[in-house]
Structure 1
Amino acid sequence: MLGNPRKVNRGPAASADNRQAILAAARAVFAQRGYHAPLSAVAKAAGVSQGVFYRHFPTRLELAFAVFDQHWADYEAISADPDPQAFARLWSLIMDKTIDEAAFVEMVVDARRQAVGYDGADRMRALLGPPLARAQDAGLVDPRLTVDDVMLAQRMVFGIVVTAIDPTDVRNQVSRALSALELLPPA
């Protein structure tokens, strides 16, 4: 019989493709349904079995760390930019990710509870400090603003995102809240 129409099992050769499919599906599912979306929905969206899924990511937290690793890389790249405008770009990206991918913040909260020694807050402080200081030195940001103030503002934005009655108006609500603070550049 020529041309077997059944799908060929590529076994270990498909591992890298499966991993990428899981990561892409997780990003989409988390963005749509939140961090606590069923992992079976991620496996289904990726087109892999539960067994394949769990071979790659034994826990939700491991999956989330892998999915959101790109966020940290993006933040680090902006933070390293010596341009005094880097803080505004970093803040804007953090706001975009908080609004569009609230699952990232949920993952950080979960990691603080579950992962012994998780350093997300320290890592964020280290990323925010240098560009904030450069922006303040250039007169672009209020000199009273501290890294802890910035992190508090981000948590406030997350609160707006998760409690919004009208999700289509979240950006406007965030903008209004941040303008009330007056210390931060608009998102």
Structure 2
Amino acid sequence: MTQQPMSDARRPPSGGPKAAARNRAALIAAAREVYAEHGLDAPLSAIARRAGVGQGVLYRHFPDRAALAAAVLEENVRQIERAAQETDLAGLLGVITWHLTESAAFIGILHTDRTDAVPSYAVTLSQRVERALRALLPGDHPLASEPDDLMIAVAMVSGAVTGPTPEHRERRARAAWRLLGVEVGPVRPVEV
């Protein structure tokens, strides 16, 4: 028996552009969580399930794994740029630390060495994080004495962010900042 297509009167509404934007945001949030728990090789089906959408919706927004990871990183950097406009250096470092504890992929862009072997979007994202930090960094701050000191310190802290839970990773990150003599504000995401 062949099924007849649903008539427009019986077809459930798709939700339109608002639903598409919600689904995309849910997929990015779910990807950040799943990547933090299982790494960048986590099954895309787990991300779709966590977001509460089907895999078709995931692929409609992100044609492949790389596109989804890039979207997560872009969202991380946007939140950091927004925090740079709303807080001081300690507050911004708290937001960056939150991203370090929640997003394994984010750590990777902070270790970008800006060579030809690295995708250009990763270099651009790393530079945007550095610009956001530099905008709030006083000239007499210890991390402002040498041009590379700021991002080396961030990379050092990100290297210390290991452990089984976000709480454990946060404790390690705070200890690393403390050892560098840097004050960090509350470790929190940017309110969306």
Which residue in 2 is equivalent to 1:28?
33
CA contact (8 A) 1:78 1:90 kept: yes
Q: Which runs of 5+ in 1 are unaligned?
A: 1-6
Which residue in 2 is equivalent to 1:152?
152
CA contact (8 A) 1:22 1:53 kept: yes
Q: CA deviation at 1:31?
A: 3.0
| CA-atom RMSD in angstroms | 3.4
Q: CA deviation at 1:120?
A: 1.9
Report the CA distance shift for 1:56/1:86 in structure 2 as closer, same or farther (over 3 A).
Answer: same
Query: Matches of 2:15 and 2:72 in 1, distance apart?
Result: 21
Which residue in 2 is equivalent to 1:177?
176
CA contact (8 A) 2:83 2:92 kept: yes
Q: CA deviation at 1:72?
A: 2.1
Which residue in 1 is equivalent to 2:161?
161
Report the CA distance shift for 1:166/1:22 in structure 2 as closer, same or farther (over 3 A).
Answer: closer
Query: Matches of 1:174 and 1:62 in 2, distance apart?
Result: 28
Report the CA distance shift for 1:56/1:91 in structure 2 as closer, same or farther (over 3 A).
Answer: same
Which residue in 2 is equivalent to 1:136?
139
CA contact (8 A) 1:21 1:46 kept: yes
Q: CA deviation at 1:70?
A: 3.5
CA contact (8 A) 1:26 1:67 kept: yes
Bigger relative contact order, structure 1 or 2, given CA contacts below 8 A and separation 6+?
A: 2
Report the CA distance shift for 1:176/1:93 in structure 2 as closer, same or farther (over 3 A).
Answer: same
CA contact (8 A) 1:40 1:50 kept: yes
Query: Identity across aligned pairs (percent)?
Result: 34
What whole-Å deviation, never above 9, does each CA across 1:44-103 have from its counterpart, x for those lacking one?
Answer: 22333333321210122321232343332232233345xxx7122112211121123333
1:115 aligns with 2:114: no
TM-score, normalised to structure 1, is 0.69
TM-score, normalised to structure 2, is 0.67
Query: Matches of 1:174 and 1:20 in 2, distance apart?
Result: 27
1:56 aligns with 2:61: yes
Which residue in 1 is equivalent to 2:105?
103
Report the CA distance shift for 1:107/1:179 in structure 2 as closer, same or farther (over 3 A).
Answer: closer
Which residue in 1 is equivalent to 2:188?
none
Q: CA deviation at 1:136?
A: 3.5
CA contact (8 A) 2:110 2:151 kept: no
Q: Which runs of 5+ in 2 are unaligned?
A: 1-9, 186-192
CA contact (8 A) 2:32 2:102 kept: no
Query: Matches of 1:25 and 1:165 in 2, distance apart?
Result: 18
Which residue in 2 is equivalent to 1:38?
43
Paired AA for residue 136 in structure 1: G
